[in-house]
Amino acid sequence: MAYRKSALSPLITQTPEGLYCPAGGFYIDPSRSVEIAIVTHAHSDHARRGSRKYFCAASGEGLLRERIGKFANIEAVPFGKKFKVGAVGVSLHSAGHILGSAQVRIEHEGRVWVASGDYKRDEDPTCPPFEIVPCDTFITEATFGLPVYRWPRIPEVALQIESWWRDNAARGMNSVLYCYSLGKAQRLLAELAPRMRPGERILVHDTVEVLNHHYREQGVALAPTECVSSQQKGVAIQGSLILAPPGIQGTPLMNRLGKFETAFASGWMRLRRGRFSRRYDRSFVLSDHADWPSLVRTVRETGAREVYVMHGSNETLARYLREELGLDAQPIDKLGGRQSVAGGDHG
Amino acid sequence: MKLFSQLCQQLESVPFTHSKAEILANYLRATAQVDASWALYLLLGGQLARLVDPATLEKWILDETKLPEWLWQECREKTGDLAESVALVAELTRAETPTLFTSGHESDELSLRAWIEERLQPIARQVDSVRHKAVHEWWRTLSLDVAWAVHALALGRFPVHVPKRVVDDALRILGGEPEVLGLTARLDALPLAGAQKPLSLQLDLF
């Protein structure tokens, strides 16, 4: 693809509310209510209530309605299908982050920009893999944008988790695995599904089960689950694995669990410092974001010559892409736009 | 070494003294005496004679990974630990995603004692090229957990320590196991915290 440096106005600009496409008149993952929002995925820091109209990937519609309201005005679009918003052609493509997570491809007057949203490259039974979308300009996340982050093989992490659970069960203890309710919990349930024995189930917090429903509706195979809250009162919960969001630590629900060990599953656990500050007995390295090698590989594979980096180690990854790969790469705050704090206003 | 590095991870994750004593007791119960002796020595502050100095190790890893110096410094700042930084970025040079449990290589399976007495101490005073070759081999063959511990030992900067009372409590939990109780008398005689140990030190306690 011939590289055209954007002497023209950027197709996507950065505003205090988030990424904005002037020619399309829409925002991507806006932080407050707007006219038109394209939502990459249903995590709460990307999907917010109150906009007049939303677009999202079809497979993520159920999760998005769970987040922003059943009656929100959502147009759900299958991956790859082109549609117009304002003057631009838009399509959504799999990002491989959680169920329904999408990259946003924008085409206007021969230029193609792609905003990645959150993504990862590792295989995940809960959603289709990241799709490489060739483009002129790529806006990438960089949550784990440092060479110290490289993920272990998932089957081994799943084995670690299972061993921890069963060893605890043999000692008469429950195992509480803290993880975010949306995405991480379902991934764990999908990775553990083949390891379940007949009749076994994993206990989950109510918020997790609500989201499990949407995954199962989309045909994702999760381990059998029951809610902790529905366990018979007065009967001890024994030898179980319980998935719950970190927020429930210290709540009455914990009183039902008898003796238990705790663990946390997250990419931050890869570093010793990431483990120090927490009060968990164990930690497992499992992330729904791309690690360093995947970030660099992905940028290369898009063929983009212009790159903007957001949501993490912006300057670090941008500098690496500039100096080592010769790309025109900048942290997102250099992307001009309406009311932007840094950079010029190209608008 | 795997058991020992897992012990260290658990000790670092748990802030409470009593839990640390339980964790340590479980390790001692499951571990051969000679490995346990070395483990206690290190946890109480003992260090091995340094096999490589920090500046040299940094030069070697930068040559190997081809990371730009500024990026390497960011990694170091992020972890706050040279041994860990080296072990982490060394993984970038492996084409296949390194494994978590074991690399399958026999080095990964060696006991703590064997690592110290057969792999580290014998080369501590060898010429540069011998030591460089050994370190290079670690990068090629070790799983992350073992690699971190080995690098920390090689730098003479093993960072995981417990107060003596944690060791005492662990031994009390095990109580009545004469092989382990025999350790206490010898441990009292060991100098602590940071002194370079002579290569000839033997922890032959039984």
* Model pLDDT for residues A142-153, shown as the tens digit of each residue: 999 999 999 998
Mean pLDDT of A130-144: 98
B50 pLDDT higher than 50: yes
Contacts of A215 (CB under 8 A, 6+ apart): A99, A126, A186, A190, A222
Q: Which amino acid is at A267?
A: G
**Spatial distance between the Cα atoms of B87 and B148, rounded to a whole number of angstroms:** 5
For chain B, the residues whose C-beta falls within 8 A of a C-beta of chain A are 9-10, 12-15, 19, 65, 67-68, 70-71, 74-75, 78-81, 84-85, 88-89, 91-92, 97-101, 144, 148
Q: Please answer yes or no on whether A150 and B84 come within 8 Å at the CB atom.
A: no
B-chain residues near A275 (CB < 8 A): 9, 12-13
Residue ranges of alpha helices (H) inside chain A are 61-68, 154-170, 184-192, 206-217, 272-276, 292-302, 314-325
Cα(B170)–Cα(A329) distance, rounded to whole angstroms?
A: 54
Whole-angstrom CA distances from B70 to A320, B60, B199 are: 10, 16, 37
Report how far apart, in Å, the C-alpha atoms of A41 and of each of A100, A184, B22 are.
Answer: 6, 13, 43
Kindly report the average pLDDT of chain A as a whole number.
92
Q: Between A224 and A261, where is the model more confident?
A: A224
CA A11 to chain CA centroid, nearest Å: 24
CA separation, residue B205 to residues A320, B33, B160, B177, B187 (Å): 53, 8, 22, 14, 9
CA distance A107 to A306: 15
Residue B107 host element (H or E): helix B106-109
pLDDT tens digits for A68-116? 999 999 999 999 999 999 999 999 999 999 999 999 999 999 999 999 9
Nearest CA in chain B to A272: B79
Amino acid at B16: F
Whether the predicted pLDDT of B147 surpasses 90 = yes
As for the ipTM of the complex, it is 0.89
Nearest-angstrom CA–CA distance, A220 and A212: 9
Spatial separation of the C-alpha atoms in residues B166 and B4, rounded to whole Å: 16
Q: What's the average model confidence in pLDDT over A258-274? A: 91
Residue with tokens 């061993």: A163
> A72 and A97 in contact (C-beta within 8 Å)?
no
Q: Is A166 on the interface with B (CB under 8 A)?
A: no
Q: Is B128 exposed, middle or buried (CB count within 10 Å of its CB: 0-12, 13-18, 19+)?
A: exposed
Give Cα A239 to chain centroid, integer Å: 31
A147–B92 C-beta distance less than 8 A: yes
- The whole-angstrom distance between B172's CA and the closest CA on chain A is 21
What's the confidence (pLDDT) of residue A253? 76
Check CB contact under 8 Å for A292 and B100.
no
Which residue in A148, A160, A285 is closest to B79 by CB distance? A148
In chain A, residues 220-279 whose CB comes closer than 8 Å to chain B:
270-273, 275-276, 278-279
Are residues B97 and A150, on separate chains, in Cβ contact within 8 Å?
A: yes
**Which range has the worst mean pLDDT, A183-197, A287-301, B164-178?**
B164-178
How far apart CA B176 and CA B181 sit, in angstroms, is 7
Tally A–B CB contacts below 8 A. 78
Q: Is residue A8 a contact partner of residue A331, using CB atoms and an 8 Å limit?
A: no
Contact yes or no for A147 and B97 at CB 8 A: no
Do A99 and A185 contact (CB within 8 A), yes or no? no
